[in-house]
Amino acid sequence: MPFKWFGKVSFVPYTKVSQFADELKEGRLVGSRCLSCGHVSFPPRADCIECLSPDFEWVEYSGKCILHTFTIIHAAPTGFDDIAPYIIGIVDLPEGGRLLGWMRGIEKEEIEIGMPLKVVPRMFEEIPEIKVYYTLEKRE
Ligand SMILES: [Zn+2]
């Protein structure tokens, strides 16, 4: 599995999908499309989860998304307790896939399932891992 999620950070081993980080640095959010069966995946996967094909192409994502669900974290895991309570959202990406991110600049009273949001990728790079997290922010 190329991504392991915990909290606001995911770790991406350097693999065929390391271009993902280069694209992020340029401000582009990309997923992968399988050249064998057409399955689109976000985050990008080097090997298709549907047909196991190793052949894929990059698909640029707009960053636009729709709130699928959310939760407010009051009892935060170690290392995050100083920022609790905070809000985590899961969004549907119109190009395919879902993404989990930290909802930023949005009061809980404003939140509605189905509201339009935008994904803002944020990245720290360390060898041999790239750390990426996303904030979900208001879209006008
Ligand atoms: Zn496939």
- Going by pLDDT thresholds of 50, 70 and 90, the confidence category of residue 140 is confident
Query: Could you tell me the distance, in angstroms and rounded to a whole number, from the CA of residue 99 to the centre of ligand 1?
Result: 20
Tokens of 71: 């939760």
Distance 49 CA to ligand 1 centre (A): 7
Q: Model confidence over 74-126: pLDDT tens digits?
A: 998 888 888 889 999 999 999 988 999 999 999 999 999 999 999 988 876 65
How far, in Å, from the CA of 50 to the mean position of ligand 1? 5
Q: How far is the CA of 55 from the centre of ligand 1 (A)?
A: 8
Mean pLDDT of 119-134: 71
> Which domains does the chain carry?
4-138 (2.40.50.840)
Angstrom distance (rounded) from CA 80 to CA 72:
13
Instruction: Check: CB of residue 101 under 8 Å from CB of residue 89.
Output: yes
Chain segment 45-56, per-residue pLDDT in tens: 888 999 999 999
Number of H helices, E strands in the chain: 1, 10
Q: Which has more pLDDT, 69 or 42?
A: 69
Mean pLDDT for the stretch of residues 54-83? 92
pLDDT at residue 64, as a whole number: 96
Cβ atoms < 10 Å from Cβ of 42: 19
C-alpha 47 – ligand 1 centre gap (Å) = 8
pLDDT for 74: 93
Q: How far is the CA of 51 from the centre of ligand 1 (A)?
A: 4
User: How much distance in Å is there from the Cα of 65 to the middle of ligand 1?
Assistant: 24
Element of type H or E holding 23: helix 19-25
The pLDDT of residue 119 is 94
- Full 3-state SS string of 45-70: CCCCCCCCCCCEEEEEECCEEEEEEE
Spacing, Cα 106 to ligand 1 middle (Å): 37
Task: Give 137's pLDDT tier (boundaries 50, 70, 90).
Answer: very high
Cα–Cα distances in angstroms (integers) from residue 25 to residues 7, 70, 88, in the given order: 22, 27, 23
Half-sphere exposure of 65 (CA within 13 A, CB side): 29
